[in-house]
C-alpha cells in the first residue's frame, strides 16, 4: 500500500490532498491566515494521518528534491529568494519558516520539489536569464494537467499536449506541455498580470524603484488596478460592467492571458487544448471570457482533477508523491522526467552581477 500527501500553500488557502493506493483519503483546505497564525495546525493534521510514505511539502520557489532533514541555510535562501535583512516579511504567507521547523521535528517523510526551471525537459535556451518559469506549485498543476488530459481522452501520457493557464488568487502562470513533458513556462513574476500580482515588471520601472521590498511583487495586479486591493474576484467581475477602473483591470487581466498564450504558440503550434486551473477558473464569467477569446487557438477546458475540495496544485503534488513512492502514478513521473530535475533557480543568469548573486545565495 502506497500512502502519500501533497500540500499546496496558496495565498488564500492551504490545500491538502492524500492518496492511498491511488484513491483519495484526505481532501481538505485550511485558510492561509489560520495556518500563518498557528502553523502547528497543518503539521498536526499531517501527523494525525501518519504513517505515510511521502509528503510533498510547501516548496516555495523550488528545490531539486531535498529531504526535510537536508534543509539548511543554503536551501532556505533558495526557498524564499529574499535578502537577509528583509527575510521575515518576504513571503506573502506567514509562518512558512515555522512550518519547515515543525516538519523537521516531526520526522515526517517530507520532500521539497523542483520548479519548472529545474526540469531537463525545458531546453537550456528557454531558461536564459530566467528564475521564475513556474514555481513548484505551478509545476504540480502541470502534472495534474497531464494526468487529467490523458484520462479525459483515454490517451497515453506521452500523447498529451496543451497550454495550461493557472489563474490563482495572486499570480497567473502559463505552462506548455508537449509529448507529456513540460517544455516551457512563464511564472507568476515573469508572465502577464495576475489577480493581485503585477506579473513581469518593466525593467525601467524596476530601475526607478531601485531597492524595493519583495512584497511589491505581490501587488499591482488586477485588484490594485481596480483600486480595491482586497476585493473578491467575483465582485470585480461584476463591477467591470459599471466601474471604469474595474473594466480596465478586467481587460488587462484577460488580454494579458491571451497574449501570453499566443506567445507560447511559438513553442507548441498545435496543442490538443488549452487547460485552465486556479482559483479564478471557478468563476463562470472568467471561464467563458477566456474560452471566447482563446477559441481561435484551441478549445479551452477546465482541469477536472479527482478531489472535491483541495485545489489543483495539491492534487498534482499528491500524484508526484505517489509516483516517487512507486505507486500507481510512477509512470506519470517517469514520462514527465521529474526525477531528472537538477540545479538551482540561479543557474541560468548571464547578466552583470550574476556570479555575485550565486555566491550570495548558493555559497
Grade residue 78 by pLDDT with cuts at 50, 70 and 90: confident
Q: pTM value?
A: 0.95
Question: Which pLDDT tens digit goes with each residue over 41-53?
Answer: 999 999 999 999 9
Q: Is the pLDDT of residue 92 over 70?
A: no
Tell me the percentage of the chain whose pLDDT exceeds 90: 87
The domain spans of the chain are: 3-362
| pLDDT at site 85 | 53
Grade residue 269 by pLDDT with cuts at 50, 70 and 90.
confident
The pLDDT of residue 89: 47
- pLDDT tens per residue across span 150-194: 999 999 999 999 999 999 999 999 999 999 999 999 999 999 999
Average pLDDT, the chain: 94
The pLDDT of residue 318 is 98
For residue range 201-224, what is the model confidence (pLDDT) as tens digits?
999 999 999 988 888 999 999 999
- What value does the mean pLDDT take over residues 64-81? 90
pLDDT at position 33 over 60: yes
Which pLDDT belongs to residue 94? 66
pLDDT digit string (tens) for 300-310?
999 999 999 99
Q: What is the pLDDT of residue 90?
A: 44
Average pLDDT over residues 7-33: 94
Whether domain 3-362 has CATH 3.40.50.300: no
Confidence check: pLDDT of 87 > 50: no
Burial 332-347 (b: 16+ CB within 10 A, else e): bbebbebeebeebbbb
The confidence band for 93, taking pLDDT boundaries of 50, 70 and 90, is low
Position 76 confidence tier, pLDDT thresholds 50, 70, 90: confident
**Nearest alpha-carbon partner for 145 in 180, 191, 173:** 180
- Work out whether strand 13-20 and strand 3-9 pair parallel, antiparallel, or are unpaired: antiparallel
Amino acid at each position: 500500500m502506497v500512502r502519500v500527501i501533497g500540500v499546496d500553500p496558496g495565498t488564500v488557502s492551504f490545500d491538502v490532498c492524500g492518496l492511498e493506493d491511488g484513491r483519495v483519503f484526505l481532501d481538505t483546505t485550511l485558510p492561509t491566515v489560520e495556518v500563518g497564525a498557528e502553523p502547528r495546525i497543518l503539521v498536526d493534521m499531517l501527523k494525525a494521518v501518519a504513517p505515510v510514505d511521502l509528503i510533498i511539502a510547501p516548496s516555495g520557489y523550488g528545490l531539486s528534491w531535498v529531504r526535510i532533514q537536508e534543509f539548511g541555510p543554503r536551501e532556505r535562501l533558495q526557498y524564499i529568494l529574499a535578502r537577509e535583512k528583509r527575510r521575515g516579511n518576504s513571503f506573502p504567507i506567514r509562518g512558512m519558516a515555522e512550518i519547515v521547523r515543525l516538519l523537521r521535528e516531526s520526522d515526517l517523510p517530507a520532500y521539497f520539489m523542483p520548479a519548472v526551471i529545474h526540469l531537463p525537459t525545458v531546453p537550456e535556451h528557454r531558461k536564459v536569464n530566467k528564475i521564475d518559469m513556474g514555481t513548484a506549485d505551478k509545476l504540480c498543476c502541470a502534472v495534474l494537467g497531464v494526468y487529467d488530459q490523458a484520462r479525459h481522452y483515454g490517451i497515453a501520457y506521452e500523447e498529451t499536449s496543451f497550454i495550461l493557464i493557472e489563474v490563482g488568487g495572486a499570480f497567473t502562470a502559463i505552462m506548455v506541455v508537449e509529448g507529456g513533458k513540460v517544455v516551457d513556462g512563464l511564472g507568476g513574476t515573469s508572465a502577464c498580470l495576475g489577480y493581485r500580482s503585477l506579473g513581469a515588471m518593466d525593467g525601467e520601472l524596476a530601475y526607478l524603484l531601485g531597492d524595493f521590498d519583495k512584497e511589491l511583487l505581490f501587488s499591482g495586479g488586477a485588484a490594485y488596478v481596480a483600486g480595491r486591493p482586497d476585493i473578491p474576484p467575483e465582485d470585480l467581475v461584476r463591477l467591470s460592467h459599471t466601474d471604469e477602473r474595474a473594466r480596465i483591470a478586467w481587460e488587462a487581466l484577460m488580454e494579458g492571458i491571451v497574449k501570453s498564450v499566443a506567445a507560447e504558440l511559438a513553442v507548441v503550434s498545435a496543442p490538443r487544448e488549452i487547460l485552465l486551473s486556479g482559483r479564478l477558473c471557478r468563476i463562470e464569467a472568467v471561464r467563458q471570457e477566456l474560452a471566447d477569446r482563446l477559441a481561435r487557438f484551441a478549445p479551452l477546458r477546465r482541469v477536472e482533477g479527482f478531489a472535491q475540495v483541495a485545489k489543483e496544485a495539491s492534487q498534482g503534488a499528491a500524484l508526484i508523491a505517489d509516483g516517487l513512492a512507486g505507486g500507481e502514478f510512477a509512470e506519470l513521473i517517469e514520462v514527465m522526467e521529474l526525477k531528472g530535475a537538477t540545479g538551482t533557480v540561479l543557474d541560468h543568469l548571464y547578466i552583470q552581477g550574476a556570479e555575485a548573486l550565486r555566491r550570495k545565495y548558493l555559497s
